[in-house]
Structures are given as C-alpha cells and as structure tokens.
Amino acid sequence: MARSGPKLTRIARTLGVSAATVSNALSGKGRVSAEMAEKIRATAAELGYVPSQAGRALRTGRTGVIGLVLPDIANPLFPQIAQAIELAASSSGYGVLIADSRGDVSTQTKAIERLIDRDVDGLVIVPRRGTRIADVGCPVAVIDTPSTPGNTVAADHWGGGRQIAEHLKALGHRRVLIIGNNPASNVQNDRSGGIRSVFGEGYHTDTLWIEPLEKASGKGCLLGLAEKVAEGYTAFACISDLHALRALTELQRAGITVPEKASVTGFDDLIWAPVITPALTTARMDMTEIAAIAVAALVKAISERDPSDPLIGAPVTAETSKVPMHLVVRQSAAAPPAFQSVQTTATAVTPVIEGGPQP
Amino acid sequence: MARSGPKLTRIARTLGVSAATVSNALSGKGRVSAEMAEKIRATAAELGYVPSQAGRALRTGRTGVIGLVLPDIANPLFPQIAQAIELAASSSGYGVLIADSRGDVSTQTKAIERLIDRDVDGLVIVPRRGTRIADVGCPVAVIDTPSTPGNTVAADHWGGGRQIAEHLKALGHRRVLIIGNNPASNVQNDRSGGIRSVFGEGYHTDTLWIEPLEKASGKGCLLGLAEKVAEGYTAFACISDLHALRALTELQRAGITVPEKASVTGFDDLIWAPVITPALTTARMDMTEIAAIAVAALVKAISERDPSDPLIGAPVTAETSKVPMHLVVRQSAAAPPAFQSVQTTATAVTPVIEGGPQP
DNA sequence: ATCGCGTGATTAAACGATTAATCAGCCGAT
DNA sequence: ATCGGCTGATTAATCGTTTAATCACGCGAT
C-alpha cells in the first residue's frame, strides 16, 4: 500500500548525500565513514524510516516472509505452533504467511503453491501422513518427529511417552490402555512406542485406535472404557489431550471417578488441561524452543542460499533436532484402586461414591 | 526469492510483442486485440507464468496481503477464525499474514506496526477489550459484536444467547446460572444479555464471572457448582465451550450427572464439543460467512482506495453486519430433574447413581 | 613529479511489473 | 487530397532499494 513514511531518497536529500550512501550506512555493507554512518542512522531513526519491503524484495529476491504450512489448522495444537513460530520469526525480522489445507492433501499442495507464488523465502511445514514436501523452490524446515527422515526439529515424543509411562508405573499401574487416533501418524506412533517401551515384564499394555473405531461406530461414539475398567485396566494413557478429555468425560459419565478408580493422562497440555476437573496430567512440548530452532535453521539456510541456485530438495537441518518434553503432573493420574489407601492425590476434592453398573 | 518461473518479458519475447502489451492483455486494461490477448493468455498459462508480487507491489503499492490480528492466539477459537479468514482471503487472491499479541496490548500495537511496515493492504482485527484501532494507515475490518461501535461484521451473539435460552426454557429450566469469564468483554456481555432477555417473570438467572473468582481463588479453581445445584440451579449456560467443559467436568466429578441432574450448554462449538460425553449442546458462529463478509468488505475498501489518500480512520462497513448463530443440540442439556420422567435424553448411556456429598 | 593505492563517496543499472504518453496505420468525411 | 479519429501496439518512466562500477582526492613511495 501507499507507504506513509519517508523513502531512502528523502533521508539522502535531507543530509545532502546519495541514496546509495544511505543504503550502505544502514546495511553496513559499503564504505561509509563512521561519522556519516552515525548521522544517517540518527536521521533515519528520527524520521521513522522503514524500508519498503517491496523495493527490497524486487532487488534482492528476498521478501522477508516465511510460510507456515499446517495440514490441519483445526488441530487444537495449532495455536501453540502458530504463536511460537510467529514469535520466533518476527524476532528474526520475518513475517509469517499462513496456509491452511483443511486436512486435504491436494488442497495442501495448492496452498504451498500459493505461498511459493507469493515469493516466501522459506517454509515451515508440520506434515501429516501423506504430506509431500518435494520440489518446493525454497528452503523448508520440517517439524514432525525425530524418527522421521527429513525432520528438522521436533519434540522428543518417544521420550515424552516414556515420562508419562514412568509416572504411571511409579504410581503403581500395571494394566495400561493407550488411546490414540491413528497408527499411521509418526508422532502418535512415537508417543505410544515410548509408553510401551517402559512397561516390560509383568505389565500389560494395549492400544485403542479411535479412527478405525469411529469408522465403524460413528463420529463421537463411546470408546467403551467402562468395559476396559472392568477388564482390569487402571490407567488410560492418551496420545493427545483431546483424547484424554474424551476418555475422562466418558469415564466420569459412567460413574468411574478419576483419578480414584482410573487414571487418565494426555499429551500437549492444551488449553483446557489445567482448568478441567480433575486437571489433566500431561506431557508438554517446548514449542517455543522448537520454533526457535526451526526458524533459526531456516533463516540460516535462506541467507546462505545462492539467490540463483538449483536448490537441493532436502529440508534444512539443525544442530539440535530433538527437544525434550516436559511432564506436567496434575490431578488426573493417581495410584490405582489397590494402592489407594497408601497413596493420595494432590486434589482436595470431595470423594465420590461409586455408582452405576458397567455396561 | 529467486523466482523460478518466466517473467513478463519472457512471454513478450516469445510472442514478439512488448511487455506492456502482455501486461495489458493479462490485466484486461489497455487496448489489445482479441486474438492477441488470447495468444498471450495461452502462452502465459503454458509457460506457467506467475506475476512477481514484488514487482507489482512496488509499482502499484498493493501487496495483495492482509494482516490478521488476534489479541490472543491461544484462544481456542483461533483455528476457526484463521481457517475461515485464510480461505476467504485466498479465494480473493490475498495472502494472510498473522500477528500475535499474546494477550498483551502493547505487544499488539507492535504487532500491528510490524504488519503495516510489511505493507499489508488491509487488516482484519478481532479485538479484545482494550484494543486500540486508531490511525493504522490502511483499511481495517473489525470482527467483534454487532453492538460494538465500529464493528464491521460479527456473529449475532445476543441472538445466539436467546437461542440457547429458548432451548433451556423449552426443556423446563427455571433457574439458570450463566457462566462467563469477564463482564468487560462485549461478546460475553451480548451473549449473556441475550440469555437473560429470554428469562422474564417467573424465572431466575444469575451470572458467575470466572476471572474475578480466579483472582481470589487461583487459576483453575473450582467454581462451586455443586453448591449452585443445591441452591436449585438446574442449568449452567456457559458463555464459551471452554467454560462449559470446566463446568461439565466439575459437575461430573462431584457426582452430579449431566444432563440428568444438571444441564450444561456452551458457545462456539469448539473442537471437543462433539466428542466429549455427554456431547455438548452449544451455539455456533458461522465463521465462514463472517470471514467472507469481512474480507469482501476489506477488499472492496482496498480496491476503491486512492493509493495516496489521507484515509479516514473508521473501520470498513459491510452490508450485512450481523450473522445468525446456529444452535447445535447435543446431549448435555435435557429436562431438569423434576421433568425427568416425561422427557428423556438422546444418549444411550448407563444411568449413574448419584454419589458423594456436596462440598 | 608521477604512479599507485586506499578511502569515501557518487553514478547508474537492475529487479519486474504497471501505465501514461506516444506512435503508426487505416478508414471515412470534408 | 488532407485531416480527424479510432485501433492496436510500443516507448519510456516509475515504484524503492541494492550493488557493481566508477570517480575524486589525498598520501606515501618510487
């Protein structure tokens, strides 16, 4: 739009020098005397000069904008990611253009193309199963899981799973049901794998995948957790806080109190985790750190890039590619019924007398 | 970045015409013969020509990018908004640059400045109490509430409140507790006002504001809903699904079954509403419609704008500024206990015997 | 005294598109 | 036969910045 502020030439005219000198002084590139540079910087600041991105972009081929590609913006994790990426990017002087693909792969390809057509300098992609990241014409940072080939940086989902599992184990749980959405997701597999890896001899785990179940019983169907409790499961380790929420409410509805009769844990520390009753014990990603690393790697690749190169197709790499998750202990997980007399939860809630029969 | 595709001049050279003719043909502005125009369009398509935004922006002063300003990206409503705006904007050929202000007003001002400095053509702002929208140098669309001065388009929050209330009234509720976060929010006030307006003579409503309560009792504290039930309240009309979730789990935890002993309703139809047990009865905004109207109004203002004008400070206006909300009836609201024998819920859950004493 | 060199600045071209101004034909009317 | 007007295309300027090339100048060395 019509820029209100002064242009480069205005500063130049004010000081009686050429525009080139001003540009050099501000970028610190050419040969400018120290005092001249200082004077220029001063008047630029005074006049509130802001360089035109358009002019610069045209000349340098750099727009100072990166694209954020989410496979499914409806994922409640999105706010965390968007916020973290936006912060990291703007700290590095970059803007963030979003692209949504509403879960659809072909839409996603188009969305990426739109970003490329807008001359983004780089892309941050949080892929979902099926995402193609080939032959985009710019550097790409991928945030998925450490175990995914081509991953730039991600949370240590496996380690997070281990932390959750260790916590449940220490509380005394021996039969644990893992609840996930779809086994085709790398993230979900790593999380559940981490959980399973902790429970060895003498323990039992099984996994319930929601998506296939819903395909058979309809969206939002019951998971049949009351039966699982009857089968002796005392803990439900959910791969996401959304599943945890679903499990928790279903158990409560069936008269199975949490955490007294059954424990529930989640992942991601989503917005509702701290405010529901009981507050959710979960494992949180350090999104700020992950975003910082991803953006830093991307920015590095962008600045090192030859403006007119062939471009190797692989995603950029970072020194650190695995960021630890943090266990957040709240009230939804406690000792299983057998241990109840010796251990106690942190909550100060009124005990609830168990009610109805299991379906 | 280094654009891979062909430039305008390349197409011109290929056809042996001038770049200006190509530009005219593609934009349909100058005088070009029909057959020439057709030939140009054909080769442009064939070569996969994509105009350089930078070049165009420099010349026209239009970047084709709008900024999306959210006061608090962590709000779970954000995905819906972002998705809708992104869709509407990209359908109109615009990109969406996001700006987060993490709830802080001064951060928000800086974020808006960053967008302006990036030469966005316009801004979509979803304000929160305290947001200043003065003297930005570009058209602005505001999405708040129809009752807010300067609002461009918004959901009919008051009407949504009425729908929720009518539903509860029809079910037989006479004592309803409204649960909101902060009375200073226009949106929350409209919603609660709409609810109250339905319950006249012979009914009782009261309002519980969470924020002041948390200031006294700490974040994530109990809301004391069991006591409210004891006081005779049979329905809890929450201003947001997040509060509804909080209320629902607190009630369940206290052994008060929903919807048999108490009904709970929400607002916004957030991601978890359909999958929790019982599924949440709520009122949904038509974000797609709202976003479409907001973006259309913004785009109109942008294209009508004199590139070098003084710019009047007021937000853009749209023909339709109030979009109806939709009641989504699920299982969390049913007839109050007294009516239970004559009415029944849609859920096929096992009845739960009420347990523990109220705190 | 001249050459070479380093310093600090200027000139000018370039990025890719848009657009006002111009121009070459051509046809019909005076 | 000449002029005016219309059509379809070209020229050239412009947006704001960057940067390679150039230039003026003073200073030490040959």
* Cα B258 to Cα B245: distance, rounded to the nearest angstrom: 12
Judge whether residue A315 has pLDDT over 60. yes
Beta bridge partners of B69: B99, B125
Instruction: Output the pLDDT for position B358.
Output: 37
Structure tokens at B196: 């109250």
CATH number for B305: 3.40.50.2300
B321-338 burial code (b ≥16 CB/10 A, e <16): bbbebebbebbbbbbbee
Instruction: Output the pLDDT for position B310.
Output: 62
Point out the least confidently predicted range of A2-16, A64-78, B227-241: A2-16
- B201–chain A nearest CA distance, Å: 34
- Rounded to an integer, the average pLDDT of A112-124 is 93
Confidence bin at A249 (pLDDT 50/70/90): very high
Q: Is residue B348 part of a domain?
A: no
Structure tokens at B208: 């519980």
* Residues of chain A positioned with their CB less than 8 A from the CB of B82: 73, 78, 82, 98, 100
Judge whether residue B328 has pLDDT over 50. yes
Q: Do B278 and A87 touch (CB under 8 A)?
A: no
- Rounded to an integer, the average pLDDT of B39-52 is 94
Judge whether residue B315 has pLDDT over 90. no
Q: Is residue B355 part of a domain?
A: no
- Rounded to an integer, the average pLDDT of B270-294 is 97
* Residues of chain A positioned with their CB less than 8 A from the CB of B4: 137
Q: Are residues A196 and A303 in the same domain?
A: no
* Cα B341 to Cα B348: distance, rounded to the nearest angstrom: 16
Q: Is residue A150 part of a domain?
A: no
Q: Is residue A357 part of a domain?
A: no
- B216–chain A nearest CA distance, Å: 15
* Cα B122 to Cα B152: distance, rounded to the nearest angstrom: 13
Q: Are residues A69 and A162 in the same domain?
A: no
Instruction: Find the Å distance, CA of residue B31 to C1' of nucleotide D4.
Output: 20
Closest residue of B to A119, CA-based? B1
- B3–chain A nearest CA distance, Å: 7
Q: Are residues A23 and A161 in the same domain?
A: no
Judge whether residue B175 has pLDDT over 80. yes
- B19–chain A nearest CA distance, Å: 17
Instruction: Find the Å distance, CA of residue B8 to C1' of nucleotide C22.
Output: 22
CB contact A214 to B (< 8 Å) = no
First to last CA, chain B: 63
Q: Where are the alpha helices (DSSP H) in chain A?
A: 8-15, 19-27, 34-47, 53-60, 78-91, 105-117, 157-171, 186-198, 210-217, 225-230, 241-253, 287-304
Instruction: Output the pLDDT for position A309.
Output: 62
Instruction: Find the Å distance, CA of residue B120 to C1' of nucleotide D19.
Output: 27
Judge whether residue A167 has pLDDT over 50. yes
Confidence bin at B312 (pLDDT 50/70/90): low
- Across chain B, mean pLDDT equals 89
B254: nearest CB among A138, A254, A352: A352
* Residues of chain B positioned with their CB less than 8 A from the CB of A111: 90
Q: Is residue B58 part of a domain?
A: no
- Rounded to an integer, the average pLDDT of A87-112 is 89
Q: Are residues A265 and A295 in the same domain?
A: no
- A201–chain B nearest CA distance, Å: 34
Judge whether residue A346 has pLDDT over 60. no
Q: Which helix (DSSP H) or strand (DSSP E) does residue B162 occupy?
A: helix B157-171
Instruction: Find the Å distance, CA of residue A10 to C1' of nucleotide D15.
Output: 15
Judge whether residue A321 has pLDDT over 50. yes
For residues A323 and A231, the answer to whether their CB atoms sit within 8 Å is: no
Q: Are residues B108 and B189 in the same domain?
A: no
CB of residue B56 closer than 7 A to nucleic acid strand C?
yes
pLDDT, tens only, B153-174: 999 999 999 999 999 999 999 9
Residue span of the structural domain in which B252 resides:
157-285+327-338
Tracing tokens 């928790």 back to the chain, one arrives at: A248
- A211–chain B nearest CA distance, Å: 12
Determine the nucleotide nearest to B18 by Cα–C1' distance: D10
Closest residue of A to B359, CA-based? A350
Point out the least confidently predicted range of A163-167, A276-280, A347-351: A347-351
Judge whether residue A331 has pLDDT over 50. yes
- Rounded to an integer, the average pLDDT of A244-265 is 97
CB contact A61 to B (< 8 Å) = yes
Q: What percent of chain A has pLDDT over 90?
A: 75
Confidence bin at B177 (pLDDT 50/70/90): very high
CB contact A207 to B (< 8 Å) = no
Q: Do B79 and A75 touch (CB under 8 A)?
A: yes
Q: Are residues B257 and B319 in the same domain?
A: no
CB contact A90 to B (< 8 Å) = yes
CATH number for A44: 1.10.260
Q: Are residues B162 and B279 in the same domain?
A: yes
* Residues of chain A positioned with their CB less than 8 A from the CB of B350: 226, 254-255, 356-359
Q: Are residues B261 and B306 in the same domain?
A: no
Judge whether residue A59 has pLDDT over 70. yes
Judge whether residue A349 has pLDDT over 80. no
For residues B119 and A53, the answer to whether their CB atoms sit within 8 Å is: yes
- DSSP for A83-133, please give it: HHHHHHHHHTT-EEEEEE-TT-HHHHHHHHHHHHHTT-SEEEE---TT---
Query: Greater confidence, A343 or A283?
Result: A283
Q: How many domains does chain B have?
A: 3
Judge whether residue A15 has pLDDT over 60. yes
* Cα B11 to Cα B19: distance, rounded to the nearest angstrom: 8
Q: Do B83 and A74 touch (CB under 8 A)?
A: yes
Instruction: Output the pLDDT for position A100.
Output: 84
DSSP A5: S
- Surface of B (15-34) touching A: CB under 8 A: none
For residues B124 and B94, the answer to whether their CB atoms sit within 8 Å is: no
Beta carbons within 8 Å of A281's beta carbon, 6+ residues apart: A167, A263, A264, A265, A266, A327, A328, A329, A330, A331, A332, A333
Confidence bin at B352 (pLDDT 50/70/90): very low
pLDDT, tens only, B1-13: 445 667 899 999 9
Return residues with beta carbons within 7 A of strand D. Answer: A 3, 7-9, 19-20, 23-24, 26-27, 29-30, 49, 51-52, 54-56, 58-60; B 16-21, 24, 30-33, 36-37, 55, 58-59
Which amino acid, residue B272?
W
Q: Are residues B143 and B202 in the same domain?
A: no
User: At CA B189, angle to CA B289 and CA B113, rounded to 5?
Assistant: 65
Residue B255: C-alpha distances to residues B207, B250, B356 (Å): 23, 9, 6
Instruction: Output the pLDDT for position A354.
Output: 35
pLDDT, tens only, B99-153: 987 778 888 888 899 999 999 999 999 988 777 776 788 999 999 999 999 999 9
Q: Are residues A42 and A82 in the same domain?
A: no
For strand D, the positions having any atom within 7 A of a protein Cβ are: 7-12, 14-21
CB of residue B63 closer than 7 A to nucleic acid strand C?
no
- Surface of A (96-155) touching B: CB under 8 A: 96-100, 102, 111, 114-115, 117-121, 137-138
Q: Is residue B349 part of a domain?
A: no
For strand C, the positions having any atom within 7 A of a protein Cβ are: 7-12, 14-21
Q: Are residues A300 and A260 in the same domain?
A: no
CB of residue B174 closer than 7 A to nucleic acid strand C?
no
Q: Is residue A57 part of a domain?
A: no
Q: Are residues A234 and A172 in the same domain?
A: yes
Q: Is residue A133 part of a domain?
A: yes
Judge whether residue A318 has pLDDT over 70. yes
